[in-house]
Amino acid sequence: MSEQPSDVPSQQPEGEKPQPAQPALEMGAAWLRGDGESHDVVMSSRVRLARNLAGRPFATKATRRDRVETMQVCRDCVMNAALAEKMIWVDIHGSPALERQLLVERHLISKNHGKGRGANPNEDPRGVAISVPDERLAIMVNEEDHLRLQAIRSGLALGDAWNDIDAIDDKIEAKLTYAFSSKFGYLTACPTNVGTGLRMSVMLHLPGLRLTGEIEKVKRAATDMALAVRGFYGEGSEPVGDLFQISNQATLGKSEAQVLHELERQIVPRVVEYERLSRRELLAKRRVGLDDQIWRAWGLLVCARLLTTEEAMGALSLVRLGVSMGLLRSAGPGAEGPTMRVINQLMLLVQPAHLQRAVGRELDQEQRRAARATLVRTKLTRPRIA
């Protein structure tokens, strides 16, 4: 065993030791349940807060020793603050690449947090605290900011997610002093987060708008309202499976209550209604074509022997549309057809890291295509117990 560098703590905080990420692949996280307000369109709601410790250099300017010390302080606080019934800590820098990617796919850490910084990211001190088994709470340490607090819920539930994270923030702030300016608010590594440090986002499933050719109009309208429109994995990612993330961009000059009200009660409901109108239009004017696309997607999922991630996500998107519109009730071994929860879970399980975790070993691209097809086929055709 190699000797640890002198600036890395040789022992873990008393009473809490890092554990490998062990998400419940079969049951899935709480945000995949397929319930909550407007769950036919809104897959999940997420609230994030960016926070930094007073008197410490921002993570982007910190030395490795600074980052080690910051991680120790934040980890001790988070793991001893009774933030959830059960929390686990994962040392990201000490986790295999596959485990890091799995956490990215579960939206528990960002892509940048998984990659790390510097020439040797495996030695870049960083971690995440996760509430288990629901995974509603995740706290990244040493990402772009010292702390990134996240709460996530199923359906349109930004208010509930905000209440969760606001309470968590208060508990942490009672133990740690945040970098704060009476003029600018909470200070962050990126100027666009200064102020509240708040990012509220929803994951929207918008196949109707895509099929009717209206999706670009919605994206332009969102941009005009100073909203960010991103893909499945957030910043820098492309939409897959007709899944789009919409979030606020302004964090300075608007209160948390204003951002919450605008998104949850004005903007998102309007997008939801546009999507539902598109679905009704497809049903009224293009029923045969719609049925054909949905059933072809079902046929691909239950018959294919090779599936890429993109193929699987595209087909699952159409099947999810069929489930939400009641067009697939006779599919599968039961008369009720597939459930929203099963489809949501599959959208995660077909991702590369989840797939390899389910199989129990690393796979090359061709092996993943075969394993993905087998996994999807098995999940959708096996008998379900009521």
- What's the number of domains the chain is made of? 2
Report the candidate in 323, 279, 321, 340 with the shortest Cα–Cα distance to residue 155: 340
Give the DSSP H or E segment for 248.
strand 243-248
Report pTM.
Answer: 0.88
Domain-embedded: residue 21:
no
What's the domain range around 142? 30-277
Distance, in Å, from the CA atom of 312 to the CA atom of 328, rounded to the nearest integer, reads: 17
39 domain-assigned: yes
Same-domain pairing of 38 and 175: yes
Same domain? For 114 and 177 the reply is yes
Separation CA 18–CA 89 (nearest Å) = 5
pLDDT in tens, 22-73: 544 445 688 988 899 999 999 999 999 999 999 999 988 899 999 999 999 9
Quote the CA–CA distance of 147 and 51 in Å, as a whole number: 5
Residues 273 and 291 in one domain: no
For residues 312 and 371, membership in a common domain is answered with yes
| Least trusted range by pLDDT, from 158-172, 243-257, 283-297, 309-323 | 243-257
* 110 falls within a domain: yes
Residue with tokens 């596959």: 98
Q: What is the identity of the amino acid at 62?
A: A
The answer to whether residues 198 and 309 belong to one domain is no
Do 160 and 257 share a structural domain?
A: yes
Radius of gyration of the chain (CA): 22
Q: To the nearest whole number, what is the mean pLDDT of the chain?
A: 88
Does residue 358 share a domain with residue 316? yes
Query: How do residues 220-237 score in pLDDT, each as one tens digit?
Result: 888 888 888 887 765 655
Same domain assignment for residues 149 and 270: yes
Residues 223 and 326 placed together within one structural domain of the fold: no
pLDDT in tens, 182-193: 999 999 998 889
In a domain, 386, yes or no: no
2 part of a folded domain: no
Phi and psi at 303, nearest 5°, equal: -120, -25
Whether residue 217 sits in one domain with residue 155: yes
Q: Are residues 67 and 188 in the same domain?
A: yes
Helix axes 309-324, 340-349, angle to 10 degrees: 170
Is 6 among the domain residues? no
Find the CATH number of the domain harbouring 236. 3.30.590.10
